[in-house]
Copies of this chain bind each other. A is one copy, B any other.
């Protein structure tokens, strides 16, 4: 979450062991031009996250019930997601627990509703949630460790959208190099503050020329940075 907007990215890999993986989009968009752009990134058990999204869409299609379209704030939207998660958990939870499986769906929710600044939340499997702040402007879910250091080094609230976009892609590239459970395609969405439209969307599949070039130039650039850093003087204390 930057001063100038929000950037969202998700991979598409789901798996049940390394011998059983598939590709599903983990990014869902609720957009009403001029009024709201809400992005939901999902993580965890696919049956759970799909059920939550189906519920949100069904509720959104009915005019008489509260939904992502009637939410007056991003906080209300987070409540909608949380309620849907708890409804799914009420239906499936015990059945999963009987097989020693937990309901482990979790979400990142962000966007802007007219009348508010952009906001960003992380919703835990239990349905409670936290909101990003000035001190910690970004949120991750799933395999968070490999991609975190580069974000910590580069991103501040004042980083420009185009530079932050490159950083997010490099962060995903680093993650995919080390964890087989994270894989292409990468879905990317960049929201410009107060635009109330999701104008910048892009999907990066295997072999994407820009993505490959970005990773290669980043590796080369970092090696240059190391060569320019001062050498250690072993003799000093």
Contact = CB atoms under 8 A, between A and B. Distances in A.
Query: For the side of the interface on A, what is the size category?
Result: 35 or more
Contacts of A218: 153, 225, 229
Interface in A179-223: 188, 190, 199-202, 210, 213-214, 217-219, 221-223
A145 interface: yes
Contacts of A17: none
A202 B232 contact: yes
A29 to B, nearest CB: 15
Given A230-B213, A232-B202, A234-B201, A178 B150 contact: no
A165 B174 CA distance: 21
Interface centre among A149, A178, A218 (most CB of B within 10 A): A149
Interface centre among A162, A200, A214, A225 (most CB of B within 10 A): A225
B221 A225 contact: yes
The majority secondary structure among interface residues of chain A is helix
Contact of A150 (B152, B166, B222, B236): B222
Nearest to A234: B200
A165 B178 CA distance: 22
A147 B227 CA distance: 19
Enumerate the 4 nearest inter-chain pairs by beta-carbon distance, A residue then B residue, closest first.
Answer: A221-B225, A145-B145, A149-B174, A200-B234
